[in-house]
Copies of this chain bind each other. A is one copy, B any other.
Amino acid sequence: MDTTRINASIITIGDELLIGQTIDTNSAWMAQELNAIGIWVKRRVAVGDVRDEIWNALTEESKHSQIVLITGGLGPTADDITKPLLCEYFSGRLVVDEGALQNVKNIFERIIKRPMLESNLKQAEVPDVCRVIQNKRGTAPGMWFDKNDVVFISMPGVPHEMKGMMTDYVLPAFQEKYSLPAVVHRTLLTAGVGESYLAERIKEFEQALPPNIKLAYLPNYGLVKLRLTGTGSDVDAITDETESLFWQLQDLLADVMVINEDKPLEEAIGRMLTDRGKTLATAESCTGGFISSLITAIPGSSNYFMGGVVSYDNNIKQNVLGVPKKILEEKGAVSEETVIEMVKGIKRLMLTDYAIAVSGIMGPGGGTDEKPVGTVWIAVSGKGETVCQKFNLRFDRKRNIELTATNALNALRLLIINEENSNSK
């Protein structure tokens, strides 16, 4: 390769990250975007709102990487540590940037519609040694500094503001400035098989991979993603090489593959339904609407998702979904009989081709000896057949809900495939 590898470090500033009150989603997004244009994120560091910590992090990371991206520490109520520090670190002085000032004024006049405060005006001040990156989505401008062949970029920590600056300005500027290698990712999603069994199945494939193509296992809620990453100087050559290996991998895992893209299960199901012109509805008890919220998080889901009923209370199961009172009394809400009636009831109510129903005990309370916390019944129903399964989950409430959703969506996927296979016989 005739390109030097460009490394980036991401520094996140803020006490809230160090006391755990905020989960850092910015770094993951930044890493994805940088990676896609051939920049390798070497280190991610989070430090508190402490002068010396920030100063040290700038110095240390500039030894590791040619690019140092800094987020956070620029809000109107921040202790004003970061901007004066950057000013001193890069030997500048604070001046008002006219573009940034106009932006702050505009936002207050047009969107917030309240008088500006002194603290808002101060956001338009920047060190005179930086290139200003205008913020189209908020009041704090971004700042680009060059020092000893290292680029330092400071951006606000508000996710959509940072994302806007990266997309509109920073990433294109990097592509122009550096001669970057081509990086190609191909991802597939599998269901029903654990990480170590997958590894055993594709052992020979993995051992035969060339050094410029890597395989990664990414387990996620009972599913495992597999990602091939190819790196090279020629974009066409590396795309072809990765693509050809990806076809081999798909062949090896055809029976457990859900989708051959980096997409979630609910999107794979959305495509199956769209392709077939079919509709779906959900009847949820223990997941409380989580399954339908996953389905409807996909743009365009209104084409196949008619709706759902969250039948949390037994009266709703009975009166809205038509589960017979006798079944609820004799078998209980968490039973095979109840989910079968729920899935039939929702299909009848919403007149759909397919339906999902779940009922279970997610914890921490509500368990009994006979039906402990984690007991879940799932039913899926299509043209004729209704398939029912019991699960015994053993995690906390949140994870039990997530796993129930994954299992229910996967059960629907398998039902659709099985219907097709038996039709074509």
Contacts and interface: CB of A to CB of B under 8 A. Distances in A.
A145 interface: no
Nearest to A313: B306
Given A30-B20, A320-B350, A160 B395 contact: yes
Given A45-B43, A60-B60, A309-B308, A76 B195 contact: yes
Contacts of A364: 299
B17 A117 contact: no
Given A289-B310, A309-B307, A309-B310, A19 B31 contact: yes
Contact of A160 (B17, B31, B60, B396): B396
A309 B399 CA distance: 24
Contacts of A21: 28, 32, 216, 218, 225, 227
A308 B320 contact: no
Interface stretch (A34-42, A171-179, A416-424): A34-42
Contacts of A90: none
Contacts of A88: none
Nearest to A298: B397
Number of copies of this kind of chain in the complex: 2
Interface string A282-304: 10100111111101110111100
A46 B11 CA distance: 10
A229 B49 CA distance: 14
Interface in A7-51: 15-25, 27-33, 35, 40-48
B288 A297 contact: yes
Contact of A18 (B40, B199, B289, B399): B40
Given A27-B46, A117-B200, A289-B292, A35 B19 contact: yes
A-side interface size class: 35 or more
Contact of A48 (B29, B42, B307, B365): B42
A27 B45 CA distance: 12
Contacts of A289: 282, 284, 288-293, 296, 308, 310
A315 interface: yes
Contacts of A4: none
A354 interface: no
Contacts of A103: none
Interface in A339-392: 349-351, 363-366
A191 interface: no
A88 to B, nearest CB: 21
A55 interface: no
A200 B120 CA distance: 11
A300 B362 CA distance: 11
A218 B287 CA distance: 29
B32 A28 contact: no
B46 A53 contact: no
A25 B23 contact: yes
A319 to B, nearest CB: 8
Contacts of A302: 312-313, 366
Nearest to A159: B399
B60 A35 contact: no
Contact of A310 (B18, B57, B292, B399): B292
Most buried by B among A76, A311, A313: A313
Contact of A307 (B300, B316, B366, B399): B316
A75 interface: yes
Given A16-B218, A21-B32, A43 B44 contact: no
A211 to B, nearest CB: 13
Contacts of A295: 288
A86 interface: no
Contacts of A312: 292, 296, 301-302, 305-308
Contact of A23 (B23, B296, B307): B23
